[in-house]
A and B are shown apart, each in its own frame.
Chain A
Amino acid sequence: MLDTLKIPGRHYLNDGHSLRSWLFTKDHKRIAIMYLMSISIMFFIGGMFAVGIRFELATPQGDFVTADTYNKFFTMHGVIMVFFFLIPSIPAVLGNFLIPPMIGAKDLAFPRINLLSLYIFWIGAAFTLYSMVVGGVDTGWTFYTPYSATASNTSVVPTAVGIFIAGFSSILTGLNFIVTIHRMRAPGMTWFRLPLFVWAHYATSLVQVLGTPVIAITLVMLGVERGLGFGIFDAARGGDPVLFQHLFWFYSHPAVYIMILPALGVQSELISTFSRKTIFGYSFVAFSSLAIAVFGFIVWAHHMFVAGISTYAAMVFSFLSFSVAIPSAVKVFNWSATLYKGSVSFDTPMLYAYGFMGLFAIGGLTGLFLATLGLDVHMHDTYFVVAHFHYIMVGGAIMGYLGGLHFWWPKMTGRMYSEFFSRVSAIMVFVGFNVTFFPQFVVGYLGMPRRYHSYPDEMQVLNVMSSAGATVLGLGYVLPVLYFLYSLRRGAVAGPNPWGASGLEWHLQSPPLTENFVEVPEVINEPYEYEHSVVKEKERV
């Protein structure tokens, strides 16, 4: 096989080499690549702020930066990571690239809107980076009123405008996916033959489409209050700051599911491929994505248990928050059952998938601590919360993103990366992540509040552990940049299907043609047919 593998002569990457051929492309794959570059830059900018945070917290005294600067550090870290990396990460890069080939389409339903969403993302990012350059914002990524509306003298409005604009990018991506999945499936690609990756993106898109407009209007209300002196949340005029929190979390809790649902979809692909087995309980896994999306919309007030909401409302929201654990557990148990008696291998994507399972489970279960009314009073706004959501958003979403990127990189570029270095990086990310964030559970339980730049001396050991782990984690994130870039020139040619996977996208050449399929394919197989399929042995050398 070694001699026969060649990069095809014609593919989407060499279909025009000018800058214009990229900036005005309507090809979903090129747009995905441009998203990949954009969000990678944002990730490393956001990461620099995390470096600043961990550097400050290495000592108990506030000696590296002032309290005000520290406030800006964690705010910019949160804003950039949430709105400009995590939310677009898997959908705009992997989803954009893969959904059309997975369902047998030549492109997304609205290619121009897809390109528009990228430009909108760039404009939103420009506003936010502008506000960073002119001094940053210090409200926390949550923008709670009244501080954000009246007290803060940092650039709240440019940041809010940036997030408002970037929201439209997210909406358009979701809208495009929904229409594409409904209307662009190839003959024979029925709903229950869709890869679970596509189901997960369908659920994600629903959240994007239904949630994002609400944060948009909330930021508009904040903007008119701050900019024009209107008084919608102003307690001095009878307004209610808690209303802001309700509206904010109505989007921002489901936003967590925008980040994690696509990662759950990636996970299903990886587990099935690398255990050479049909996914266990396909329809349960598919519907659990939808269930998570639906439940995600009715749990928002668990962020506000100490904000003075009614006891009865709090009880209902506590109960509903617990119920999110059910579809999440359905997924984890189904993956475990898929692994059972599978022919499991340990390629790099699978290492990420294993890491994901453990971290997602810990992140999810600690979420139940926080959904418990009494316990939340103790843990609210402590590092326990910080650790919990990083287990989901970094341990879950970013592990899923990296796992997916390693899995589909050969499809996207036609070349393999270094197996050795990628395994090293996967292990570094896993170890570094745990050393960073597990001590934060402990230090949070001991009572260390989030968002302070100093802390009592006795908490230093745990904080130094956390900072040390962050160093390993950071190196683990830099490493893939190096070997991915190296692989573009020197990587071994991957061939169409290096993992012996069953999805429709693996029938295409790598990298695919601009139009994906020469002719519209007709699907006759059930998904994940590893046991009965002709695709049994890995074709990779």
Chain B
Amino acid sequence: MENDGKKSTALISNISKTFNTNKVVDNLSFSVMPGEIFGLIGPNGAGKTTTIRMMMDIIKPDSGEISILGKNLSEDSKDKIGYLPEERGLYKKLNVLQSLSYLASLKGISPTIAREKTEHLLNRVEMLPHAKKKIEELSRGMGQIIQFLTAIIHDPSLIILDEPFANLDPVNTELLKEIVLELRNEGRAIILSTHRMNEVEELCDRILMINHGRNVLYGELSEIKSRFRNNSIFLELEGDPGELTGVTGKRDYGNYTELLLDGKTAPQQVLEQLISQGKNVNRFEVSTPSLHEIFLQVVEEGQ
């Protein structure tokens, strides 16, 4: 698949997976482009982890195809992908340097480069003084940062992050977000799987929401949000707005008023009417539901 002349980093076509009699992923298709952060969201048990595991070739789909950088998924593809699983785990008895070097070598990085990259990344996250510490001696947050580094040490083209900010303090959360945005700007494709909708709104360019293993929302985040727009306006002004063409109702919230539109009138037309009437407008906001609200609405509809 191509988008604006760019080839997709990951292309997933009609994949399905059934465990015993339970269809966990059902005919799912999507693509992830270079230089974008792609949100993979859905309620618990929706099939997100199974989808990710199929993309990592940890489990095989029953049907459908997965292609990474234009090639069918194979063992070689694994070296192009960085993966931070939701369930974290490292060798507790190894030190930070040994852990990072060993896991980098399994991604095809030579020991010398692995060491250089390890030191560079540890310096980036200000953890170089802890390089010789055993993993079991690190705090949970530090361990999580090391695990994050194992996902990016080999310069992957596709980075899959499953709940990367869970259990991190605000300082480390900001540090990781900063690195994620840097990686996006370097042109890497990033899949962010999370339950935190504010993070998706903050970071993601496009999203895929799955429920019961099926695609229920897919596309540009801004386009999806406008699709779920309530067709109303939040208005704060001095005095009463009076009669306005295209407005079918009003809800008074004290400090501000919500104007309900008839569906044919654009918010811009309402604003023009207010200005022409000489009203002093303090706030004019097109009402858009948060992703959290959209998530709840879509999940409820799917029940």
Q: Do A and B bind each other?
A: no
Q: Using a CB–CB distance below 8 Å, which chain B residues touch chain A?
A: none
Q: Using a CB–CB distance below 8 Å, which chain A residues touch chain B?
A: none
